Structure 1
Amino acid sequence: MDAQNDDPLNIAVIGPSRFPIREPYAGGLEVVVAKEVQALRKRGHSVTLFAAAGSEGHDPRFQFTSMTGVSGFGDSFYPPGGYEADAGEFDRLMDHLVGSGFDVVLNHSLSHVPLIRAADLHARMITTLHCPRLGPMQDAFDLLGEATGQVQAVSRSVLSSWRVPQGAEVVPNGVDTRIWRPRATAAAPPRAVWCGRIVPEKAPHLAVDAALSAGMTLDLAGRIGDEHYMRRVLAPRLRDAASAVRYHGALGRDALVPLVAGASVALVTPCWEEPFGLTAVEALACGTPVVALARGGIREILSGQPGVVLVDPGRDPASALSAAIPAALTLDRVATARAAAAAFSHERRIDRVEAQLRGLPVGAAP
């Protein structure tokens, strides 16, 4: 593509296959894909989204079978035969894309199939790595190398877990600061908030323990992605602390943003090498200070960021989080929101994506 050509592009976006791209979003990956599609369309490009059944604004002819409500399914595993069925649907989509007239394919899926079929395409494909290394995808990189297309990652931390022979650029996620922004709040006793997927690696139980230890109430919001974890680990805490912890379930942005913006502090509690930490950035954009365990992308993107207190996970992360809360409550919320908007603007990210699509040199992350 000519770097000087400002004509609209014909873009295919391959979304994740597990959950629909719609409110309430199943996780950060779904948010990122939805906002990218919306922004590129707003800039005049023709964008076709291929995503799970039930998505908004997607091509239903090639939709993936959503795993929502499927028995024996979780965020990190499939029911028997589920992965094979998923791969078959990706193969069908790639058959379609081979004969299409797209200028570029943006691949946000967690499937190996687009990688092994990339060389069949007449369009350039750019794959974004959103999570730590997945075996089948890594096998494709090892076997096919540059034939898998261009690659980018949401953080240096997540990229470090992969072997990408052709190299990859780091393009951090962004937040829509027209949505995630400070809101006027009435004076009230300090309260904490936690939001995200209810799964072991996100560890919301640590937020419950930390808030209770600090003598604070806690609002907890998110989709249950692991029923066993919810039943065995989190639910007993919710029952025992019913007067102090409110679980809101999965919330759309209309309810979630005021909840986060009105909190005194946001707790971010990864027990894995967090790829990015979008919920932390969303809170900061609202001016809500963040106390977070310094893991993976959280450590990378939030070190030195105003409004953040990073905590060493150590042997007793809940106590460490609790001890850091008083300092967070003194941080300047106006400065926190201003700095987050400058560092993590979604429009700034789309500028970089659009420059890539037109073949312009992108360089290091700003």
Structure 2
Amino acid sequence: MKIAQIAPLAESVPPKLYGGTERIVSYLTDALVAQGHDVTLFASGDSITAAKLVSCSDVALRLNPAVKDHLPHQVVMLDEIRRRAHEFDVLHFHIDLLHFPLIREFADRTVTTLHGRLDLPDLKPFYSAFPDIPLVSISNDQRRPMPPVNWSGTVYHGLPLDLLPFTEKPKGNYLAFLGRISPEKRPDRAIEIATKVGMPLKMAAKVDNADRAYWETVIEPMVRRHPNVEFIGEINEHQKADFLGNAGALLFPIDWPEPFGLVMIEAMACGTPVIAFGCGSVPEVIDNGVSGVLVDSVADAAENVEWALKMDRKKVRATFEARFSAARMARDYLDIYRNLPGVRTKAAPLRRANGQDLDLQVVA
């Protein structure tokens, strides 16, 4: 099958540092190539992929100081895709909504994965205007705020099995917080939980400009007040394996409708259990009592830290391998691609051992 993957241009594929969507695009693209498909990736020129790369900007836009406005670069990429759309059996978009008017004529062989939150008030009239565009959710909970749309399926994220090594015996006696410093991620809760149980907390997190005031007025003063808290800042993939693998548990104290929560399965890959507030997708991702603990308050989380630290890390890793591999993610998407009404397929006969035809099997 000839597949186009269309990534955001803000970060490379995979991203150098923070960037969940681009990371998933990378894992999916490479898994599809490994499964024998002809994949073309539209992304920034500094991306690294097993697929054919179409460079749509020299480098990731966020890392280019000369770029002040992302929109012109995105429009140029979309025009390139429009001109080449006939080359592909399926076009898979990961860029939110900018492309919707463009793909109307060939929407029946496209899929758009929605990677973000869908409860924002401006989104409902938009999606109501495009009820025919095939969409994929990354959790079932993510769908709740949406008007009637053309859902093609839910596909949970996955990681390569060899990306993050399993750590049976962590070297550090600390709790971990990984992601982004923002009010909805509730790093303040993470600090409160660690302080209540008297454990060190290591925070590896990005501070966006939009959240700079929250960091300076709320979180940074808390970090200074609590000697058990160490703020590390943004980390790369190599550092992530050590950071998560050597943690006793990951704290995921969110306070918003999380669409998926990639960091949860990254921790699980290392064998590290997750203590998570049951918002959004969390109950779909965490097997309570097996890969982590679902809680509903800071006090509840603190009471369950000891239990989480005693969990069987081999079972945490086994749950990850069974549910959240990149290969499984790719197979799930292939099922969706093949069920799109506009996908071009070839009919090939199944044959008995004696060479007689049985019936037709659709292959792509």
Query: What residue identity is the alignment partner of 2:127?
Result: F
- In the alignment, the residues of structure 1 paired with residue 65 and residue 193 of structure 2 have an alpha-carbon distance, to the nearest angstrom, of 33
Aligned pair partner of 1:59 in 50, 54, 64: 54
Aligned match for 1:128, one of 104, 113, 126 = 113
Q: Matches of residues 216-255 of structure 1 in structure 2 within 5 Å?
A: 216-225=199-208, 226-241=211-226, 243-255=227-239
CA distance in 1 between partners of 2:16 and 2:150 (Å): 36
- The yes-or-no answer on 1:266 pairing with 2:250 is yes
1:136 and 1:51 map into 2 onto residues whose CA distance is: 27
Shift of 1:289: 1.4
**Aligned residue number for residue 327 of structure 2:** 347
What residue is the counterpart of 1:319 in the other structure?
299
Offset at residue 256 of structure 1 (A): 0.7
1:62 is displaced (CA, Å) by 5.6
The 1-side partners of 2:58 and 2:146 are apart by: 28
Aligned to 2:138: 154
Residue aligning to 2:157: 173
| Paired AA for residue 253 in structure 2 | T
Give CA deviations for 1:59-86 in whole Å, capped at 9, x if unaligned.
Answer: 2246797234779x9xxxxx8xx47546
User: Residue 201 of structure 2: SS of its match in structure 1?
Assistant: strand
Give aligned-pair identity as a percent.
25
**How far is 1:276 from its partner?**
0.9
Q: Which runs of 5+ in 2 are unaligned?
A: 342-364
Relative to 1, partners in 2 of residues 1:70 and 1:214: Cα closer, same or farther, differing over 3 Å? Answer: farther
Counterparts of 2:144 and 2:73, CA distance in 1: 27
Structure number with larger C-alpha Rg: 2
1:104 aligns with 2:96: no
Q: Is the 8 Å Cα contact of residues 12 and 104 (structure 1) preserved in structure 2?
A: yes
The match for 1:197 is 180
1:97·1:121 contact (CA, 8 Å) conserved in 2?
Answer: no
| Change in 2 beyond 3 A, CA 1:120/1:70 | farther
- Are residues 256 and 329 of structure 1, via their aligned partners in 2, closer, same or farther at CA, if it must alter by over 3 Å? same
Unaligned segments of structure 1, at least 5 residues: 1-8, 74-78, 362-366
Mark the CA change 1:360 to 1:127 in structure 2 (over 3 Å): closer, same or farther: closer
2:4 match: 12
In the alignment, is the contact (CA less than 8 A) between 1:15 and 1:49 conserved in 2?
A: yes
Deviations 1:297-348 (CA, angstroms, capped at 9, x unpaired): 0123325361311111xxxx43332222122122221222212221222211
The letter of the residue matching 2:335 is: A
Bigger fraction of residues in strand: 2
Within 5 A, what are the aligned runs for 1:280-291?
A: 280-291=264-275
Residue 357 (str. 1) matches residue 337 (str. 2)? yes
**Is the counterpart of residue 334 in structure 1 residue 320 in structure 2?**
no
AA of the residue aligned to 2:22: E
CA-CA distance at 1:106 after TM superposition: 0.6
Matched residues in 1 for 2:141 and 2:108: separation?
29
Question: Could you say what the CA RMSD is over the residues aligned between the two structures, in angstroms?
Answer: 2.9
Give the TM-score normalised by the residue count of structure 1: 0.81
Q: Which amino acid aligns with 1:33?
A: V
Contact 1:222 1:249 in 2 (8 A): yes
Q: Report how many residues are paired.
A: 335
- Paired amino acid for 1:119: R
Residue among 144, 156, 159 paired with 2:130: 144
The separation in 2 between residues aligned to 1:358 and 1:168, in whole angstroms, is: 11
Contact 2:168 / 2:313 at 8 angstroms: preserved in 1? no
Matches of 1:135 and 1:86, distance apart in 2? 27
SS in 2 for 1:167: strand
Shift, 1:107, TM fit: 0.7
TM-score using structure 2 length: 0.82
